[in-house]
Each structure stands twice: as C-alpha cells, then as structure tokens.
C-alpha cells in the first residue's frame, strides 16, 4: 500500500500512530487471493461509503491507568475525550459510480474532557430561564442515574469506566432503594426480585443462544426463508440427528468421490473452544460422555475462510438488543477480530487437530507461543474490526457490501431468536406484574468466507467485557494488564448502551422509527446517522451504536412470521407464567381461529396435539413443564398451514394462516400495517433458492412438517421421529 494510494488525514496528533500502523502493513500474497470482484456490485448510495467509529485514545488512558488500576482518580478525566481520524482511499476501484471519494472515517476520542465539559462544547447543563420558559423540561439538577454494579463480574472494570464517563452513580454493593439499572454479569436472575428499573439481561437468553437452540431457531427460519438464512452453516443436532448426518454424508460421498467435506463438532453448552474438534467422517463422532449421550451440534466446516497475514480470523461484533417489543436492535460500529496463531491450511487428516490453525478463540490462541499482544489496534492477534476493514478497503474490497451483509445477518439472526425470547419474557414478567424492562449486549461471532460472505458461527449471550488480559511478567508470575484494543471497543459499547438506556432519555417515538427504512433488496448504507443526544451528553463522543432496527423495518419485517405465531401462542397460554400450552388451550386456539371443519375434526386436533407434544417431550433433557412448547406449536402451525393452503410455498401457507387467525382474533399485527403489505408479496419461490456454502449436496435435515400430509398420524408413521426438540435443556 503506497503513500500515493492511501491519503491519511489525521485530525488529532495522538492518533498518528494508529494510521501509521495501518499504513505499515503490507498486503501479503495470500491476501491478494481475496475475490474482490466476486461480491455482487453494490448499489451505490449517494453518500460516500464510510464507517464512522467512535472510540478513544487508549494509549493515553493506559499511561494513566497503568499507575493505579484500582483507584481511579483524576487520571480518568482523559477517558472520554474525542478525536477523529479520516482515511481517504484514492484509486480507480475506490471511487464509486457517482465519482465520490471512498472514505473511511474513523472517529476516536482522544480529546480530554474535564469536569466543566459542558462549557467546553457550548452546551450548558443548566437550562437557562428562557429555555425553561420555552417548555424545555430539563431537570433542574438531574439526579444521576444509578447503576447497581454488584453483580457485574468481569465486566466491572469497563462498566466503572463507562459510569464515570457518564457521571452516573455506581452502587458496587447494591442498595436497598431501587436502582435505575442493574448490570448483571451472567443472567437475568443474578439479582432476584427486581421489580423496577432495567436489567442488562433478558430471561431465557442463555438458553436460547446455546448452540442447539440457536441452530433450531435458525433452521425454522431456513424452512421459511431458505435464501435469506443461508449464512448459517448446515448443522445437525446430536445425538438425535446422528443417523441422518451419517446417512447424508455417506450419500454425498457415494455420489461424488472427490467431495471430502470437514465438520466441526461443538458441545451444546460449550464456550471458548472447549471440547470442539474437527472430523472428516461421521464414524469419528464422539457420541458419549461416560454413559450419557453428548448434546452437541455438528456443523459443516467453512474450509476457505478469508485470510489476513495467512491467518484465519473471526469477527466479534457487539449488538444491543434494546427492546423486544417493539424490536430495537443496535450494532456497534467498532468490533474486534481474533486471529489464529498458526498459518492456515485447508483441513487435511494431518492438520485436523491443529487448534491454533483452525480455531480463532482468544482463550485458546493466547496459550500459543505465537500470540502477539499488541498495543496497536491494527496488529497482533486481536485487532479492531475497523483496522481489518481498512486493510481490506485498501485492497479494493467492497467493504460497504461486507458491512451491509453483516448488518443483514445480525437482524435476521435476531429475528430468529426473538419469538422464543418473547415466551420467556412473558413467563418471567407477565403483563400486569411489576418487573424490570430488559436489554442485552450480545456478541456475534462471524467468519468471512474467502468470497467475503459473512457466516454466523455463534451468538454469545455473555460476551466477555474484560478490558485487561493476563500476562506472564516473570516465569510463573501472571498479572492482569490493560488491553488497549479491548478497552477501546468494550468501554464504548457499554457506555453507549447505558446512554441509550438512560431512563431520562426521551424514547424515540415508535411511529417515527417505523416510518424509516429502506425497501427490501436495497443495500444498507454504512454511513452513521446523526444520533439524538440528551442535552447533557454534548461532551460525549457520538454514539458508537448504530440503530439497524426498526430503521430497516421495510427490508426485514416480512421475516417476522414466527414471531406472529409466538404472539398467538402466548395469547392462548392462559395461565400467567406458563411456557407451555395444555390440550384444552390448544383446542381453544383451534376453535377460536375456526381451524377445524368436517375434514379436520376436533378428534384429529387432539391427535395432532398428543403426537407433536409427545415427540417433543421425548427430546427434552429436563422437562419441567408438561405441554406444548413454542417450537412444537410452530411445528403444529406449519402443519395446519400446509393442510389449509396446499399448493403454496411454506412461507405463504404460514402467512395466509396467520392472517386468517389474526382476523379471527382481531389481533393488530406486530410491526404495524407495513407487515401485512410485505408478508407474502416478497416471498421468493423455494425453487430459486441458491446455495452459497460449499457442498450444496449436503442439506440439514428438514423437519417432518414440510411433508405435511392429510393425516398427521400416518405422516408420523412414515417418518417416525421428529428432528425438532425442546428448548429447555
Ligand atoms: P465456542 O463457543 O466454543 O467458541 P464457536 O462456535 O465460536 O464455539 O467455535 C469456536 C471457533 O471454531 C470459532 O471461533 C471459529 O474459529 C471456529 N469455527 C466454528 N464453527 C466453524 C465453522 N462452521 N467453520 C469454520 N470454523 C468454525
């Protein structure tokens, strides 16, 4: 990358090192293989594609923090300053169709903020008399927002910094009077009996994002929208789908001897790469732990990932689920990339066990002798996402398209898990019962394939928010030292999450938000929009969290079919706090929605209920409640839709049945009127589905309901076992 190719405009002196780091890195031969032209031409928005990343000058901070990491004194005043770095790329490929310069803006926060910050920006904390008279209702002296940090665990350090930047009040030991925000390190239940305020975890999120449940949720969406959900590798659930897995692989190999796929096996509750292994043959599956069958997901291994410096890497993206209803999703504009520490080779029998080559987990690679802790964000084994995008952009990669695909992946994945979350939520905090509202930061792990297509690896309900790492100072002597790249990214994410959840912050009206959005198929611009700030936030950097939903409602709302099924399910649950439907409630649903007739008697309804519920309870590891869970209800609903609207594709069958049920119940559709207009019309016939992952011959096992036939019992006899199981395990 020569100087005339890349023009670096540095607005603040302190950030020079960042730019130099990025510039110093040459593009190696391996990287040149990136299929720059393979991504479809992006529709060019009138604005120059750019990323704006809010952060801060960590080098400064750590100079101070290094002195005293526990007791944070005046040194911390440096923390929430602001600086900005604009990097403009020139060159043939870097000029968009409209002739705009392609610009990568990276905004940091190096400027020092002092106590009198409001004067600095010409924004006064104290409203003038005039302003008050104008009806500008700023609190006289706003009570600081209170945050209970007593259960924050490993996110405590980043949380403390964030609270200090916001001038909020921390309660490290909890307090008797309610707090505005409760920050939990693990789950919704870390503090019991919270009846007000906000908690940074949703009930049921841990369960929903376990590997098996996430795979099931995505699979349900793949049945309805196979094209839209092709970003998740084909997966089989063990032990129940072991047989299908073996049979399918055998058939694929018999059909084409040159096909030799690799699979990655991940224990269901695992994290940090624990228990993961690669196989090339189903006979290599380790199915038992002692006398118990192992719950795991076996997944198609992405053999050709994008490499940088010859190394495999993945992206950790932070996503804020701000609200379930209405659905509000924000994506952090800055993330992390985690690098392997051994040069990548496509899997072979010889290298299958080389974890430093195949697994990008920080927790594994940090133990490799090759791991590089770098003080720069653009080098080392953990780098900022912006520095990686910068390098790709410098090579002519259409990063606008990559980013747009990543946003779509995040929204679609969230849409897949929201239905079940709504069931958990209403069970935990039924309408009318006092309780907190919830929000949650999620960690999306994304791999870029060589052709730049993003693939979802997993979603973490508890992404690490640690901003320090362990270092061996002397043989056998370990100490926690600050990690600049972690702090840069994670403090921004926590601080801006808090800002968005500020109870004093006026909520953007839902109707306003709904009005926004692009048409389906339009590309999502990378440009950050001006975010509204509360008057006392003037001194803080602009939000590093970008709203993507409901902003892009028009593009994605049509995917929310299962959520509408969940709304029906919840409506018929009856007893408060229930998560399962009893046989009477199921009958009531059928009757109220007028789904039985002479061809489908109430006796058949009962058989349907018993069969589906029995099969699902058979796959439940620790069923606490009897009855029909949401997944089983979805299966029943798909079956009923197939019976009623035979000739249509599944998604249209389901959309038609939903409209019929909602009309009977006079349910206002979630997502407003727009939803109706997009629910069916955008359906893509299943026949034109395209496969983007390798080995199109392999397909995940499809549930029985696809073949919904006249008689459910007969149908069950033909295919003795459902592939679907219960969420609670
Ligand atoms: P864990 O929760 O244990 O970290 P992950 O699903 O994140 O499990 O997988 C661990 C690592 O394995 C990932 O960071 C990635 O490097 C690699 N990996 C996971 N799934 C795949 C896949 N389907 N193809 C290629 N690599 C994968």
pLDDT at 28: 35
What is the per-residue pLDDT for 293? 83
- Report in angstroms the alpha-carbon separations of 133 from 128, 368, 405, 534, 537: 9, 64, 48, 18, 22
What is the per-residue pLDDT across 612-632, written as a single tens digit (0 to 9) for each?
Answer: 999 888 665 555 578 999 999
Give the residue with greater pLDDT, 162 vs 504: 162
**For residue range 113-125, what is the model confidence (pLDDT) as tens digits?**
233 333 333 333 3
Q: What percent of the chain has pLDDT over 70?
A: 67
Cis upstream peptide for 186 (omega within 30°): no
Over its C-alpha atoms, the chain yields an Rg (Å, rounded) of 26
The model's confidence at residue 311, banded by pLDDT at 50, 70 and 90, is: very high
> Residue for token digits 């993961």?
276
Number of Cβ within 10 Å of residue 703's Cβ equals 21
Is 707 in a helix, a strand, or coil? helix
Mean pLDDT calculated for residue range 297-312: 97
Residue 361 CA, closest ligand 1 atom number: 14
For ligand 1, say whether the CB of 273 is within 6 Å of any of its atoms.
Answer: yes
What is the C-alpha to C-alpha distance for residues 183 and 199, in angstroms, rounded to an integer? Answer: 6
Please report the beta strands in 527-668, taking only residues with DSSP state E, as ranges in sequence order: 545-549
- 274 C-beta closer than 6 A to ligand 1: yes
CA–centroid distance, 456 to ligand 1, in Å, is 9
Nearest-CA residue for ligand 1 atom 20 is 457
Section 686-714 average pLDDT: 37
State the pLDDT at residue 616. Answer: 87
Ligand 1 centroid distance, CA of 354 (Å): 13
- Separation CA 309–CA 305 (nearest Å): 13
How sure is the predictor about 472, in pLDDT bands with cuts at 50, 70 and 90? Answer: confident
Q: Would you say the CB of residue 488 lies under 6 angstroms from ligand 1?
A: no
- Calculate how far, in angstroms, residue 461's C-alpha sits from the geometric centre of ligand 1: 15
Q: What is the largest CA-CA distance in the chain?
A: 82
User: Which residues partner with 340 through β-bridges?
Assistant: none
Expressed in angstroms and rounded, the spacing between residue 457 Cα and the centre of ligand 1 is: 6
pLDDT digits (tens, 9 = 90+) for 512-548: 333 334 444 445 555 444 444 555 566 889 999 999 9
* Closest atom of ligand 1 to CA, residue 267: 3
Residue 314 in contact with ligand 1 by CB distance below 6 A:
yes
Locate the ligand 1 atom nearest the alpha carbon of residue 305 and give its number: 25
- According to the per-residue pLDDT averaged within each range, which of 176-180, 421-425, 536-540 is highest? 421-425
115 against 641, higher pLDDT: 641
pLDDT of 523 reads 53
Query: Which residues, 6+ apart, have CB-to-CB distance to 29 below 8 Å?
Result: none
Cα(245) to centroid of ligand 1, in Å?
Answer: 19
From the CA of 340, give the closest atom in ligand 1.
Answer: 16
Contact 301 CB / ligand 1 (< 6 Å):
yes
**Is residue 337 lining ligand 1, measured as CB closer than 6 Å?**
no
Q: Flag whether pLDDT at 175 surpasses 90.
A: no
642 CA distance to ligand 1 middle (Å): 36
**Of 44, 131, 133, 20, nearest to 94 (Cα)?**
44
Closest residue to atom 17 of ligand 1, CA basis: 359
| SS3 call for 313 | strand
Cα separation, 112 vs 120, in Å, equals 10
Q: Determine the Cα–Cα distance for residues 214 and 459; give it in Å rounded to an integer.
A: 8
Is the pLDDT score of 376 beyond 90?
no
- Compute the Cα dihedral for 153, 155, 157, 160 and give only its sign: negative
Look at residue 706 and tell me whether its pLDDT is greater than 90. Answer: no
- pLDDT reported for residue 372: 93
Quote the ligand 1 centre to 516 CA distance (angstroms).
Answer: 35
Least confident of 9-18, 220-229, 279-288, 331-340: 9-18
- Judged against a pLDDT cut of 70, whether residue 580 lies above it is answered with yes
Per-residue model confidence (pLDDT) at position 227:
97
Considering only residues 139 and 719, tell me which one the structure prediction assigns the higher pLDDT: 139
For ligand 1, the distance from its centroid to the CA atom of residue 3, given in whole angstroms, is: 37
Kindly report, residue by residue over 9-66, the tens digit of the pLDDT: 333 333 333 333 333 333 333 333 333 333 333 332 323 233 433 333 333 333 334 3
CA of 109 to the centre of ligand 1 (A): 33
Q: Ligand 1 in contact with 264 (CB < 6 A)?
A: yes
Tell whether the model's pLDDT for residue 695 goes beyond 50. Answer: no
The band of 505, judged by pLDDT with boundaries at 50, 70 and 90, is confident
CB atoms within 10 A of CB 304: 13
Cβ–ligand 1 contact at 297 (below 6 Å): no
Q: What is the C-alpha separation between 36 and 185, in angstroms, rounded?
A: 41
Top mutation candidate among 213, 230, 276 for ligand 1, by most atoms within 8 Å of CB: 276
pLDDT for residue 364: 95
Mean pLDDT score, 563-573: 96
**Residue 499 confidence (pLDDT) above 50:** yes
Q: Which atom of ligand 1 is nearest to the CA of 301?
A: 24
pLDDT value at residue 534: 56
Ligand 1 atom with the shortest distance to the CA of 445: 7
Q: What is the reported pLDDT for 471?
A: 82
Given a cut of 60, is residue 713 above it in pLDDT? no
How much of the chain exceeds pLDDT 90, in percent? 58
Q: Which of 208-222, 393-407, 462-476 has the lowest average pLDDT?
A: 462-476
Residue nearest to atom 19 of ligand 1 (CA): 457
Going from the Cα of 273 to the center of ligand 1, the distance in angstroms, rounded, reads 7
- The model's pTM: 0.76
pLDDT of residue 620: 55
> CA angle 470-471-476, nearest 5°?
110
The segment with the largest mean pLDDT, out of 417-421, 474-478, 577-581, 679-683, is 417-421
**Helical axes 156-166 vs 484-501, angle rounded to 10°:** 60
The dihedral sign for the CA sequence 277, 28, 444, 21: positive
Ligand 1: residue whose CA is nearest its atom 22: 301
Q: How far is the CA of 446 from the centre of ligand 1 (A)?
A: 9
- How sure is the predictor about 575, in pLDDT bands with cuts at 50, 70 and 90? confident
């Amino acid at each position: 990358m020569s100087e005339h190719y890349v023009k670096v405009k540095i607005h603040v002196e302190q950030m020079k090192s960042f730019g130099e780091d990025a510039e110093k890195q040459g593009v190696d031969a391996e990287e040149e293989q990136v299929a720059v032209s393979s991504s479809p031409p992006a529709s060019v928005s009138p604005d120059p594609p750019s990323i704006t990343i809010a952060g801060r000058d960590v080098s400064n901070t750590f100079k101070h923090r290094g002195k005293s990491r526990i007791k944070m004194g005046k040194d911390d005043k440096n923390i929430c300053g602001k600086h900005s770095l604009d990097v403009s790329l020139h060159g043939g490929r870097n000029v968009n169709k409209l002739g705009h310069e392609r610009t990568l803006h990276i905004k940091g926060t190096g400027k020092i903020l002092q106590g009198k910050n409001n004067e600095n920006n010409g924004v006064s904390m104290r409203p003038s008399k005039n302003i008050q008279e104008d009806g500008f209702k700023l609190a006289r002296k706003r009570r600081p927002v209170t945050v209970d940090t007593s259960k924050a665990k490993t996110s405590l350090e980043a949380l403390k910094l964030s609270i200090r930047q916001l001038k909020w009040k921390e309660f490290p030991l909890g307090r008797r009077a309610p707090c505005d925000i409760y920050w939990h390190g693990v789950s919704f239940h870390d503090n019991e009996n919270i009846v007000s305020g906000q908690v940074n975890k949703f009930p049921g999120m841990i369960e929903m994002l376990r590997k098996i449940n996430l795979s099931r949720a995505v699979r349900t969406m793949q049945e309805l929208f196979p094209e839209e959900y092709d970003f998740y590798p084909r997966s089989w659930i063990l032990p129940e789908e072991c047989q299908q897995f073996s049979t399918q692989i055998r058939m694929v190999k018999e059909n084409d001897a040159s096909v030799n796929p690799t699979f990655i096996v991940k224990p269901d509750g695992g994290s940090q790469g624990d228990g993961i292994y690669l196989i090339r043959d189903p006979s290599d599956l380790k199915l038992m732990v002692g006398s118990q069958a192992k719950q795991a997901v076996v997944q198609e291994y992405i053999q050709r990932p994008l490499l940088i410096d010859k190394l495999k890497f993945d992206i950790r993206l932070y996503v804020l689920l701000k609200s379930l209803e209405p659905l509000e999703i924000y994506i952090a504009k800055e993330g992390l990339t985690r690098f392997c520490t051994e040069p990548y080779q496509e899997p072979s029998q010889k290298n299958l066990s080389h974890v430093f080559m195949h697994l990008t987990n920080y927790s594994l690679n940090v133990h490799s002798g090759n791991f590089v802790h770098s003080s720069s964000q653009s080098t080392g084994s953990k780098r900022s996402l912006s520095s990686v995008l910068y390098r790709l952009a410098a090579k002519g990669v259409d990063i606008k398209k990559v980013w747009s695909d990543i946003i779509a992946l995040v929204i679609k994945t969230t849409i897949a898990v929201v239905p079940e979350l709504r069931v958990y939520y209403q069970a935990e905090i039924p309408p009318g019962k006092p309780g907190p509202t919830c929000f949650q930061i999620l960690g999306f792990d994304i791999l870029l394939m060589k052709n730049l297509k993003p693939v979802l690896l997993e979603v973490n309900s508890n992404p690490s928010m640690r901003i320090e790492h362990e270092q061996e100072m002397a043989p056998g002597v370990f100490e926690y030292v600050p990690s600049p790249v972690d702090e840069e990214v994670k403090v921004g994410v926590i601080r801006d999450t808090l800002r968005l959840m500020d109870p004093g912050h006026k909520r953007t009206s839902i109707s306003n938000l709904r009005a926004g959005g692009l048409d389906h198929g339009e590309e999502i611009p990378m440009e950050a929009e001006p975010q509204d700030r509360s008057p006392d936030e003037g001194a803080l950097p602009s939000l590093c969290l970008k709203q993507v939903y409901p902003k892009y409602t028009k593009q994605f709302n049509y995917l929310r079919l299962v959520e509408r099924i969940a709304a029906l399910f919840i409506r018929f649950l009856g007893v408060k706090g229930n998560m399962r439907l009893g046989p009477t409630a199921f009958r009531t649903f059928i009757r109220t929605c007028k789904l039985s007739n002479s061809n489908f008697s109430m006796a058949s309804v009962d058989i349907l209920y018993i069969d589906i519920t029995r099969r699902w309870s058979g796959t439940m590891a620790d069923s606490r409640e009897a009855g029909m869970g949401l997944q089983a209800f979805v299966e029943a609903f798909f079956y009923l839709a197939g019976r009623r609207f035979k000739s249509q594709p599944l998604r249209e069958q389901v959309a038609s049945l939903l409209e019929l049920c909602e009309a009977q119940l006079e349910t206002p559709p979630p997502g407003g009127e727009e939803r109706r207009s997009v629910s069916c019309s955008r359906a893509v016939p299943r026949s034109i589905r395209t496969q983007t992952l390798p080995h199109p011959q392999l397909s995940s096992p499809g549930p029985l309901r696809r073949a919904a036939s006249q008689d459910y019992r007969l149908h069950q006899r033909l295919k003795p076992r459902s592939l679907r199981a219960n969420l609670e395990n």
